[in-house]
Chains A and B, each alone.
Chain A
Amino acid sequence: MAEYKWPDADKRTLIGKRISRTDGPHKVSGHARYNSDLNRPGMLHGRLLCSPHAHAKITSIDTSAAEAMPGVKAVYIIPDPDREIKWAGEEIVAVAAVDEPTARDAIRAIKVVYEVLPHSVLDTDPKAVGSLARPAQAQKVGDPDKGFAEAEVTAEGLYGMPVITHCCLEPHGSVIEWEDDKNLLVHLSTQAVSSIAAAMAPVLEIPAANIRVKQDHIGGGFGSKFGPDRWDFAAAQLSKKAGGKPVKIFLDRDSELMVAGARPSAYAKVKVGAKKDGTITAWQSESWASGGQGGGGSPPMPYIFNIPNQSKQHTAIQTNIGPQRAWRAPNHPQACLITMSALEDLAAAIGMDPLEFFLKNIELTGPRAEIYREEFQIAADLIGWKKNWHQRGDKTAGPIKRGLGLSLHTWGGGGHPSDCDITIQPDGSVELKMGTQDLGTGTRTTVEIVAADTFGLPMGVVKVLIGDNRFPTSGGSGGSTTIAGVSGATRRAALDALDQIFAKAAPALGAKPEDLEAVAGTILVKSNPAKRLTWKQACSKIGQVPITVRGKNPGPGKLGDSGVGGVQMADVSVDIETGVVRVNKIVAVQDCGLVIDIKTAESQVYGALIMGVCSALYEEKIMDAKTGKMLNPNMEFYKLAGIGDIGDLVVHMMTGKGYDERGVIGLGEPPAVSPYAALSNAVANAIGVRVPTLPLTPDRVLAALAKKGGSNARI
């Protein structure tokens, strides 16, 4: 019986090294086929008619002209029981035609009559939206009155961030075809290959077992691509109407930004109090959020710091914008921005270095306190905190002001349920199958690393097959649960498979199975390494029938864990005459237990920082109050950072003793939490005043400066 644990550091040949992602060559060569790249035989192109109104009743739909057009093969009215449109961009009719231009012409030929109803798309002021703002939560911890009475210094402020949209580069969508009356083949851009069939089956009224779901690559998800969407069901219905022909519907960019991803906003009026020595005594917040009809999330505040006395109220605002979807670390970025900004303002009110202030209160973070302390010290060295930090407001001459800011974050993670089948052939070839997906996080690469390291094989031998719901079930990629799930299942399968190889090879080596180990392409006797078989020779002992072993997560042995954190520090320059913010540098120090592949893990953190720069400085789903439309459903005014906008990024992964033995923990979400707060705090440090809400655009920066009444504020 194998001992289910990770190899010791000195035994790891691949785990914890810097390995290039295995599908890299496919991606850089353009050969990687995303589902949006598929040209299935006889494929029809689907397009959608979407509502121009944010709130309306549909009075009538006339599709006759579209149906009569040559080349149009199917028209499908998307069912909507109450025929009520609740956001602009909501899909009403789908059309499938022989090519895209024809499908677009057909959409234009459809006539929909609307009864336009009042809408509300703004969420910045709960008092302005009447009954659309509903009290959602109120909580008291300790004795807030006493806490504030004890406080020698208090700081009050408004903080927040708007709704932003995922803007996956590969839009949401699918290619769907009926293989026969009862069997559906679904190529869908999804973060949850194994779960799609169960979600589609009841609606299509066929057994989930008859739905095959495949996806080799996905062009971004970030939390927005878990279930099948209305347009995917529409594609299935269009295909049915068209005799089973494949129908491809991938959203146009404007739809993608309007309806296929919205991270809830969050705003809060916060008051915090502390003693002059920096001890935080009390927290009070009135917060509100919106994410469309759902009313947004409820960010956990105060974030991380368990302040002894708290008084909190939260309000949910309903709006006529596209529905909210999960986004890397749901609720955490909002809570983090609000909390860390308020605390940094408090530190500034005391006149204390925020690093010192955060460390002074670090015990309030709970059991991770010592890790945060260590991480803060590393980050401070990497960014030169001691040398470069100054009291609020860069006093040097000239319009360019420089500042530093910091933040910290946490995330749970844990491994999701995952099954992994490994088949070893008598010729030594190895195949690994799992119904997981690689979001670009490196899943494909990491499971190969785990299997190959376990077998003592180099990269390139184990054939990894993922992205098919016919493969053993694996959870959706969300909540940073994938890596622990898939690596645990893979390790267990590989160890069990190796046990079987050992058992078969032991007689030939004149040793007991438990005395064998797999090293560098051989199976050898630990006490006498000269006695060895090559991997191939050992596998030939299997006999005629290959062995297949299933590994599961959860399962025996502690291979994964949950609960990680990190700290980040940002260095920015702000032009106080124009309000333009430039990032000089961001440092991220992050722990996530045992890192399987340092290279792709670092990429996750770099990516999180860049995403943070995007929404700290640029991103906003800009809604027009009067027309109810999103004004920037394009990549020109829905601004994302480019290669020159991110400054220099430094990533430090906490590895080795104290971290590795925890096992594998996910990394997708945690580093995406802190950048907003670190950048906002850096801007406040640079210009001497808080810019209350993100994004930190020139208008907001100049408005904050004007409020401060600084000499350069001239509006």
Chain B
Amino acid sequence: MSDEKKPDKQGLSRRGFLKASGISLSVPLVLNYRMVKAAGAEVKVLGPGKAPIQLTINSKPFTAEVEPRVTLLEALRNDLDLTGAKRVCDRATCGACTVIMDGKPVYSCSVLAIEAQGKKITTVEGLMQGERLHPVQQAFVDNDAQQCGYCTPGFVVACKAFLDKNPNPTPEEVKRGLGGNLCRCGTYVGVRAAVLQASRGRKGGQRG
């Protein structure tokens, strides 16, 4: 960082900043949050310390205390012990952390836990129906769409979301529609077959 001024963390002057930004404190600092007057309304400001959060994951409520900087992925893995989603690239590239949020596949490494509140989150752990594997999961097993298995949970979730949106894809659509997940062992042939097996109206994968 030669030509960019680094913020001086130690010298952080909140009062100065608040003054400069024309915000006045309406409530003194309390434990986890404070209310700040912004454009005539009271807006809750949390952090930088830990704040309690409530998440709805796999239809169950979870609570945790995390700093705003904690990602959804970190909260799942470190605070809630839901370790199916993996931290691999941690930069919204590889897909190993994929979860479904309000029906859409997202990289949980790039969602803050605090902003995931109020959303319906489905992780790989939430796909099983009781003791039974979800059809996508079963198709992954049947077609050996996994080796070391570290990309697998994210891939399974991405495939589930893909099939929710495209219930009956062509092989070409499968190749084009799952570009957000990376595998290192090289299981894509199995994944393609698994998605086709799990798609509506198809029986049996390509890899028996």
> Do A and B touch, yes or no (CB under 8 Å, in the complex)?
yes
Q: Residues of A with Cβ closer than 8 Å to B?
A: 18, 20-21, 23-25, 27-34, 36-37, 39, 45, 99-101, 108, 167-171, 217-222, 252-253, 439-441, 599-600, 602-604, 606-611, 634-636, 640-644, 646, 649
Is B128 a contact partner of A29 (Cβ separation < 8 A)? yes
Is B93 a contact partner of A634 (Cβ separation < 8 A)? yes
Nearest B residue (CB) for A167: B184
Is A599 a contact partner of B152 (Cβ separation < 8 A)? no
Q: Does B178 contact A (CB under 8 A)?
A: yes
Q: Which 10 A-B pairs have the closest CB atoms?
A: A30-B84, A610-B186, A219-B150, A607-B186, A440-B148, A440-B147, A27-B149, A37-B83, A30-B124, A24-B141
Contacts of A30 in B (CB 8 A): 82-85, 123-125, 153, 156
Is A219 a contact partner of B182 (Cβ separation < 8 A)? no
Contacts of A606 in B (CB 8 A): 186-190
Q: Does B165 contact A (CB under 8 A)?
A: no
Contacts of A644 in B (CB 8 A): 175-176, 178-179
Complex CA–CA separation, A39 to B9 (angstroms): 30
Is A636 a contact partner of B93 (Cβ separation < 8 A)? yes
Q: Does B104 contact A (CB under 8 A)?
A: no
Nearest CB of A to B105, in Å: 14
Is B150 a contact partner of A101 (Cβ separation < 8 A)? no
Contacts of B174 in A (CB 8 A): 643
Q: Does B146 contact A (CB under 8 A)?
A: yes
Contacts of B191 in A (CB 8 A): 643
Contacts of A18 in B (CB 8 A): 208
Complex CA–CA separation, A62 to B57 (angstroms): 43
Given A37-B77, A603-B190, A634-B89, does the pair A29, B133 have CB atoms closer than 8 Å? yes
Contacts of A28 in B (CB 8 A): 124, 133, 137-138, 140-141, 146, 149, 152-153, 156
Which among B17-25, B26-34, B66-74 touches the partner chain?
A: B66-74
Is A169 a contact partner of B96 (Cβ separation < 8 A)? yes
Contacts of B192 in A (CB 8 A): 643
Is A607 a contact partner of B147 (Cβ separation < 8 A)? yes
The total of chain B residues at the interface (CB under 8 A) is 61
Contacts of B94 in A (CB 8 A): 169, 635
With a 10 A CB-CB cut-off, give which of A439, A611, A644 has the most chain B CB atoms: A644
Nearest A residue (CB) for B123: A30
With a 10 A CB-CB cut-off, give which of B69, B128, B182 has the most chain A CB atoms: B182
Nearest CB of B to A16, in Å: 14
- Contact digits for B117-145, partner A, Cβ 8 Å, 1 yes 0 no: 00000011101100001000110111010
Contacts of B91 in A (CB 8 A): 253, 634-636
Q: Does B197 contact A (CB under 8 A)?
A: no
Contacts of A217 in B (CB 8 A): 148-149
Contacts of B148 in A (CB 8 A): 169-170, 217-221, 439-440
Contacts of A634 in B (CB 8 A): 89, 91, 93
Contacts of A20 in B (CB 8 A): 141-142, 144
Nearest B residue (CB) for A22: B141
| 13 A-B pairs (CB sep. < 8 Å) | A36-B87, A101-B67, A169-B88, A169-B148, A170-B150, A218-B148, A219-B86, A220-B148, A220-B184, A603-B147, A643-B192, A644-B175, A644-B176
Nearest B residue (CB) for A635: B89
Q: Does B38 contact A (CB under 8 A)?
A: no
Complex CA–CA separation, A609 to B185 (angstroms): 10
Is B144 a contact partner of A600 (Cβ separation < 8 A)? yes
Complex CA–CA separation, A441 to B187 (angstroms): 11
Complex CA–CA separation, A171 to B90 (angstroms): 12
Which residue of the partner chain, among B69, B141, B144, B188, contacts A643 with CB atoms under 8 Å? B188
Is A640 a contact partner of B137 (Cβ separation < 8 A)? no
Q: Does B78 contact A (CB under 8 A)?
A: yes
Is A29 a contact partner of B125 (Cβ separation < 8 A)? yes
Is B147 a contact partner of A640 (Cβ separation < 8 A)? no
Complex CA–CA separation, A168 to B141 (angstroms): 22
Q: Does B181 contact A (CB under 8 A)?
A: yes
Mark out the residues of chain B between 28 and 74 whose CB falls within 8 Å of any chain A CB in the assembled complex: 67, 69-70, 74
Contacts of B88 in A (CB 8 A): 169-171, 253, 635
Contacts of A253 in B (CB 8 A): 88-91
Nearest CB of A to B186, in Å: 3
Complex CA–CA separation, A602 to B185 (angstroms): 12
With a 10 A CB-CB cut-off, give which of A24, A32, A99, A640 has the most chain B CB atoms: A24
Contacts of A100 in B (CB 8 A): 74, 78
Is A635 a contact partner of B182 (Cβ separation < 8 A)? yes
Complex CA–CA separation, A587 to B62 (angstroms): 49
Nearest B residue (CB) for A609: B186
